[in-house]
Amino acid sequence: MMKLTLQELTPLYFRSATMLLGAMWLFVYFHRKGIRLRPVGNEWLIIIGLGIPNILGWHTLSIMGVSELPSGRAAILGFTMPIYTVLFGALLFKQPLNRRAGLAVLCVFVTVGLLLWHEVSKITGSPTGVMWMEGAAVCWALGTLLMRRVHFVLAPEALTVWMMLLSSVVITALAVVWEPAPSLVQISQFSGPMWLSLAYAVIINYGFAQVIWFGMARDLPPATSAMSIMAVPAIGTMTATFIVGEVPHWQDLLALVFGVTAIACVLLPPRKPAHI
């Protein structure tokens, strides 16, 4: 969907507009549900500290990477995030690295490799795009680890809304500096698929999906929440046929198997020892 939108709108203006509108409608929705949305005390510092890697870093760097890499599959580089999450967790936060987590990391590595099978030459020809995407993956991984280590009572819904609102202000400022502003004529000439993609980004991507993700990142172990996102590149690759005309290869189908295996490694409960 991002690749489709970027055919008619520059990346930072796309990010700023959809993120701001998504945060605004979520704010109204959660306010009507009676959720406390006003941060107090040091909750503002927590919002800023978590928002920099989780929202500002990931969403800004990833959209820059998607805009420079020539294929939708190349954006899957950002989904090396689970590898960084497990490794950073072990190196920086002394989290145990068991056999299941190690197998999941290996499956993620194989999944990404298979999904990028036909894109190696294009990726090596766009080193800047690769750097953007890997920087985004590192930010996302660090943000996921911090979500479980920071103690606060603010609801995940309120945290998500404020991280998006503050980040959208920064991204808008970057867009004004780095990109030409879209004219009213250009906006009036947006195609039907373009408007559909924008609506999807506001309602789904910056709506329910963000709230669900940060609820998972808050309540689940980092490795578990990180591995769960491996369903995303598989679904993206399968649906790319209908959205941007990219036909999946056998490598993509095999990648789906490894991606599901990575998820199963961290989600399936361990086998209980038999009692004699």
- 272: pLDDT confidence band, cut at 50, 70 and 90? low
In whole angstroms, what is the distance from residue 144 CA to residue 136 CA?
A: 12
Residues 6+ apart with CB under 8 A from 94: none
In degrees and rounded to multiples of 5, residue 7 shows phi and psi of -70, -20
Confidence at residue 167, expressed as pLDDT on a 0 to 100 scale: 95
Q: How many residues does the chain have?
A: 276
Confidence at residue 151, expressed as pLDDT on a 0 to 100 scale: 82
Q: What is the token pair recorded at 62?
A: 């990833």
Mean pLDDT of the chain: 85
Q: What is the token pair recorded at 94?
A: 């002394």
Confidence at residue 207, expressed as pLDDT on a 0 to 100 scale: 84
What b/e sequence results for 144-176 when a residue is b if at least 16 CB atoms lie within 10 Å of its CB, and e otherwise? bbbbbeeebebbbbbbbbbbbbbbbeebbebbe
Q: Does 274 have pLDDT greater than 60?
A: no
Percent of the chain with pLDDT over 70: 94
Q: Does 72 have pLDDT greater than 70?
A: no
Confidence at residue 103, expressed as pLDDT on a 0 to 100 scale: 87
Nearest alpha carbon to residue 15 among 134, 242, 173: 173
pTM over 0.75: yes
Confidence at residue 52, expressed as pLDDT on a 0 to 100 scale: 95
Q: Does 10 have pLDDT greater than 60?
A: yes
- 212: pLDDT confidence band, cut at 50, 70 and 90? confident
In a domain, 274, yes or no: no
In a domain, 224, yes or no: yes
How many angstroms separate the Cα of 144 from the Cα of each of 69, 135, 221, 245? 25, 14, 9, 33
Domain, as residue range, for 37: 2-267
In a domain, 273, yes or no: no
Mean pLDDT confidence for 207-213: 86
Mean pLDDT confidence for 9-20: 91
In a domain, 243, yes or no: yes
Residue 74 has a CB neighbour count (10 Å cut-off) of 23
pLDDT tens digits along 102-136 = 888 898 888 888 877 777 777 776 788 888 989 99
Confidence at residue 5, expressed as pLDDT on a 0 to 100 scale: 81
Mean pLDDT confidence for 149-163: 87
Confidence at residue 273, expressed as pLDDT on a 0 to 100 scale: 58
Number of domains, the chain: 1
In a domain, 276, yes or no: no
Mean pLDDT confidence for 225-252: 77
Q: Does 73 have pLDDT greater than 80?
A: no
In a domain, 220, yes or no: yes
Confidence at residue 70, expressed as pLDDT on a 0 to 100 scale: 64
Lowest mean pLDDT across 15-24, 62-71, 81-90? 62-71
In whole angstroms, what is the distance from residue 190 CA to residue 48 CA?
A: 34
- 270: pLDDT confidence band, cut at 50, 70 and 90? low
In whole angstroms, what is the distance from residue 270 CA to residue 198 CA?
A: 42
- 48: pLDDT confidence band, cut at 50, 70 and 90? very high
